[in-house]
């Protein structure tokens, strides 16, 4: 009852347009599947790193070779010198199983999202910046608005602004492909089929190190994404991504 009243009031606020779904069903479903997969990949990835929290550059690296950097945490293997007097429990078995299963679901979901976005116009309409938006002036205005924490106007909150569009494009078309590529480059079987995909990254250990850094960028994105949702109305945004109903105003 309350919901339908709210929808009716939003009709009243924006009489010029019909109330569209804020996010299509496909966007909502793929968003939440990707969220679950990302959290599973992150948790299992952290567990795998704990077994060897040392990073290298090049093809090979082990406890006898110099590191690029170490993460100062205890390890789940007694063979890794960490300076801590204890060894964490081994969680790699299920972590690796979960990591690859979640990766499959994430990749298939991502393919469904990208292909359907091409055909539905979601990519062109909602993600690619409009021609007028790609000026230096609108870019600097968007940055200034963000730095001042200026909330979007009613009209603006119906579509993604320039920074959002560029960020989502970066995540979908740069960071996700990179994290898949660097992940696959660690596989000895994949390396046997596509050796160039490993050597161009600098080697198998380089691929592992890059996989770690791309993950750090993705975690940054996740934190800022959640922060922005909090700043622009957590309940409203969550409802939009769960039910599809967009509300311009936070309900009183």
Partner 1 sequence: MSDLSRRKLIAAGIAAAAGASGLAAADVVAKRYGLIPPDYGGPYGAGETLTYAAQRILTSHSLAREFPPSAISKPPFANEVLSLGEEFKRLQAGGFADWRLAVDGMVARPASFSLAELKSYPSRSQITHMACEEGWSYIAEWTGVPLSHILDLAGVLPQAKYVVYFSIQRDWWDSVDMADALHPQTLVAHSMNGAELPVGNGGPLRLRVPRQLGYKNVKFITRLTVTDDLKRFGAGLGSASPEGGYAWYAGI
Question: Which residues 6+ apart lie within 8 Å of 99 measured at CB?
Answer: 40, 41, 44, 45, 48
* In contact, 41 and 102? CB cutoff 8 Å: yes
Please, is 198 exposed, middle or buried when counting C-beta atoms within 10 Å of its C-beta (0-12, 13-18, 19+)?
A: buried
Which of 5, 60, 132, 216 forms a contact with partner 1 (CB under 8 A)? 60
Residue whose CB is less far from partner 1, 195 or 251: 195
Name residues contacting partner 1, limited to 81-120 (CB under 8 A): 92-94, 96-98, 100-105
In the complex, what is the shortest distance from the CB of residue 57 to partner 1, in angstroms, rounded to a whole number? 12
In the complex, what is the shortest distance from the CB of residue 85 to partner 1, in angstroms, rounded to a whole number? 18
Judged by phi (left if over 0) then psi (alpha if -120 to 50, else beta), residue 149 lies in left
43 binds partner 1 (CB under 8 A): no
123 binds partner 1 (CB under 8 A): no
**Long-range contact list for 85-94, CB < 8 A, 24+ apart?**
88/50, 90/51, 91/47, 91/50, 92/47, 92/48, 92/51, 94/44
Binding mask 184-213 for partner 1 (x = CB under 8 A): x-xxxxxxxx-x--x-----xx--x-----
78 binds partner 1 (CB under 8 A): yes
Which of 16, 64, 66, 216 forms a contact with partner 1 (CB under 8 A)? 64
49 binds partner 1 (CB under 8 A): yes
Stretch that binds partner 1, among 58-66, 153-161, 171-179, 228-236 (CB under 8 A): 58-66
- Whose tokens are 């170490």? That residue is 70
Which of 7, 13, 39, 63 forms a contact with partner 1 (CB under 8 A)? 63
In the complex, what is the shortest distance from the CB of residue 204 to partner 1, in angstroms, rounded to a whole number? 6
Instruction: Quote the tokens at residue 171.
Output: 């995540």
40 binds partner 1 (CB under 8 A): no
Please, is 245 exposed, middle or buried when counting C-beta atoms within 10 Å of its C-beta (0-12, 13-18, 19+)?
A: middle
Residue whose CB is less far from partner 1, 131 or 196: 196
Distances from the Cα of 116 to the Cα of 24, 26, 109, 120, 145, angstroms: 11, 8, 11, 6, 32
Alpha helices in 121-135 (DSSP H): 122
In the complex, what is the shortest distance from the CB of residue 229 to partner 1, in angstroms, rounded to a whole number? 30
Q: Which residues bind partner 1 (CB under 8 A)?
A: 48-49, 51-52, 54, 59-65, 77-79, 92-94, 96-98, 100-105, 184, 186-193, 195, 198, 204-205, 208
């Amino acid at each position: 009852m309350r919901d339908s009243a709210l929808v009716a009031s939003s009709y009243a606020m924006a009489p010029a347009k019909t109330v569209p779904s804020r996010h299509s069903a496909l966007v909502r479903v793929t968003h939440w599947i990707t969220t679950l997969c990302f959290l599973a990949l992150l948790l299992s990835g952290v567990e795998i790193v704990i077994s060897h929290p040392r990073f290298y550059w090049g093809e090979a690296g082990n406890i006898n070779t110099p590191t690029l950097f170490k993460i100062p945490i205890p390890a789940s293997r007694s063979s890794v010198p960490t300076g801590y007097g204890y060894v964490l429990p081994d969680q790699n078995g299920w972590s690796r199983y979960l990591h690859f299963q979640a990766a499959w679901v994430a990749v298939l979901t991502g393919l469904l999202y990208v292909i359907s976005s091409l055909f539905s116009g979601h990519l062109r309409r909602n993600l690619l910046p409009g021609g007028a938006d790609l000026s230096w002036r609108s870019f600097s205005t968007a940055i200034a608005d963000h730095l001042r924490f200026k909330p979007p106007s009613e009209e603006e909150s119906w579509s993604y602004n320039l920074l959002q569009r560029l960020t989502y494009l970066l995540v979908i078309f740069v960071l996700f492909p990179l994290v898949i590529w660097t992940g696959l480059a660690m596989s000895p079987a994949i390396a046997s089929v596509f050796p160039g995909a490993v050597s161009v990254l600098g080697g198998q250990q380089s691929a592992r190190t890059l996989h770690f850094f791309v993950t750090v960028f993705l975690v940054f994105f996740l934190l800022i994404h959640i922060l922005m949702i909090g700043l622009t109305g957590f309940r409203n945004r969550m409802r939009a991504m769960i039910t599809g109903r967009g509300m311009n105003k936070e309900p009183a």
